[in-house]
Chain A
Amino acid sequence: ETGVTQSPTHLIKTRGQQVTLRCSSQSGHNTVSWYQQALGQGPQFIFQYYREEENGRGNFPPRFSGLQFPNYSSELNVNALELDDSALYLCASSRDRKQETQYFGPGTRLLVL
């Protein structure tokens, strides 16, 4: 176990709705990265948060947004859900933004109908 937790484990939404996913980082870690993993593919980087600030973003539209809180837990928000947003959403924490080793949580499985 990595100590990284995510909630909820599964979620079903309909097109156009909004969703919030949550992540608690491992103790002592101040950096959280979010990834989207479509079925049968490797994870794709969404964005990273370091000390409550966004610290880099992948090729995802602005309707994907996030937050990091003072305790370094994080949220991923997705607005105006599309069918293609159906995926496993993973968060990973690391000791620092310069520490490359990222430890992943179990993920949230999102299904958009």
Chain B
Amino acid sequence: GESVGLHLPTLSVQEGDNSIINCAYSNSASDYFIWYKQESGKGPQFIIDIRSNMDKRQGQRVTVLLNKTVKHLSLQIAATQPGDSAVYFCADTYGGATNKLIFGTGTLLAVQP
């Protein structure tokens, strides 16, 4: 992905609902993908990752789906809680001497009580 603009896409959900956050990446050679959560005033926090040889991976309350054909990544959060409110970034990288992460724009998840 590439970061563009100053206005973050926002997803507003009700507490208890499931959330789906989407991300597009641009480098077809990318082989590793990570979702990070960033709360206001804090650094990005690792949530879940997936390699290009997989199309789905599950964690605790989170699932990441990877569609390499259309270069699309999604993060599903089950039973969304107020503590999930944050900006969510996808990042990708490809095998090489430097594993620099390329971050997407970010999505602001707002959980309504």
Contact = CB atoms under 8 A, between A and B. Distances in A.
Contacts of A103: 46
Given A90-B43, A100-B93, A101-B49, A42 B106 contact: yes
Interface in A21-63: 33, 35, 39-45, 48, 55-56, 58
Nearest to B90: A42
A40 B93 contact: no
B101 A45 contact: yes
Interface string B75-97: 00000000000000101010101
Question: Size band of the B side of the interface?
Answer: 20 to 34
Contact of B98 (A39, A44, A97): A97
B70 interface: no
Given A56-B100, A99-B99, A100-B93, A41 B46 contact: no
Contacts of B102: 45
A55 B91 CA distance: 19
21 contacts: A6-B43, A33-B100, A40-B5, A41-B3, A41-B6, A42-B3, A42-B103, A43-B101, A43-B103, A44-B103, A45-B100, A90-B44, A92-B101, A97-B97, A98-B99, A100-B93, A102-B46, A102-B99, A102-B101, A104-B44, A106-B41
